[in-house]
């Protein structure tokens, strides 16, 4: 065998069949299957993959090529992902209220980005920053005891400004503007 091939190849051929194993929270099995199997059938039809689920949360994804298997894996992971504090999500604004914007960060999971967390400067109206359908990058800053997700765009903007050489004076000036705005209320 060594005469034919000195060492194993670094990667499997993209045309080789794939079997991928993903571990999900067993409580999310119903979400993955969906009502009457609608969700899992939709994933299988759109990717061409075959998906089997064990009671312990092990998901087996098989496909005849790498691209289809990876597409199915990504859909399964996105659907069953656990929201974690500190993680950044690219979400879509689903509704706007006077006090903030509700943003869908995962399929079926919305969080509230309070008006005070939409920007690192004073925001008079939520519509000044976003409208329904806009995509925003937000960071999860808290999940309360009722499993409500609190989001912040301001935290990301401050991290980007700090990384881009933002000064402490600029931060102090923004804080001063917020205090002045609060005093005017």
67-84 pLDDT per residue, tens: 899 999 999 988 888 888
137-185 pLDDT per residue, tens: 999 999 998 889 999 999 888 888 877 665 455 555 555 454 444 444 4
pLDDT for the residue 173: 54
Residue closest to 76 by CA, chosen among 105, 104, 111, 34:
34
CA pair distance 158, 117, nearest whole angstrom: 11
3-47 pLDDT per residue, tens: 887 888 888 877 788 899 999 999 989 989 999 999 999 999 999
88-104 pLDDT per residue, tens: 989 999 999 999 999 99
Task: For the chain, give the mean pLDDT.
Answer: 85
CA pair distance 185, 183, nearest whole angstrom: 5
- List the CATH code of the domain at 88-165: 2.40.50.140
3.40.190.10, 2.120.10.30, 3.40.50.300, 3.30.1370.10: CATH of 18-80: 3.30.1370.10
């Amino acid at each position: 065998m060594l005469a034919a091939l000195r060492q194993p190849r670094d990667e499997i051929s993209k045309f080789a069949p794939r079997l991928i194993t993903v571990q999900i929270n067993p409580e999310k099995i119903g979400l993955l299957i969906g009502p009457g199997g609608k969700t899992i059938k939709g994933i299988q039809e759109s990717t061409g993959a075959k998906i089997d689920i064990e009671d312990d949360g092990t998901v087996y994804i098989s496909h005849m090529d790498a691209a289809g298997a990876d597409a199915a894996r990504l859909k399964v992971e996105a659907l069953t992902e656990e929201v974690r504090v500190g993680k950044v999500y690219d979400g879509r604004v689903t509704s706007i209220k006077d006090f903030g914007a509700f943003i869908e960060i995962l399929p079926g999971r919305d969080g509230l980005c309070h008006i005070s967390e939409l920007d690192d400067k004073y925001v008079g109206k939520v519509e000044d920053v976003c409208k329904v359908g806009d995509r925003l990058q937000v960071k999860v800053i808290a999940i309360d005891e009722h499993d409500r997700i609190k989001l912040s765009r301001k935290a990301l903007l401050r991290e980007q400004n700090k990384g881009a050489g933002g000064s402490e004076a600029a931060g102090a000036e923004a804080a001063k503007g917020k205090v002045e705005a609060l005093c005017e209320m």
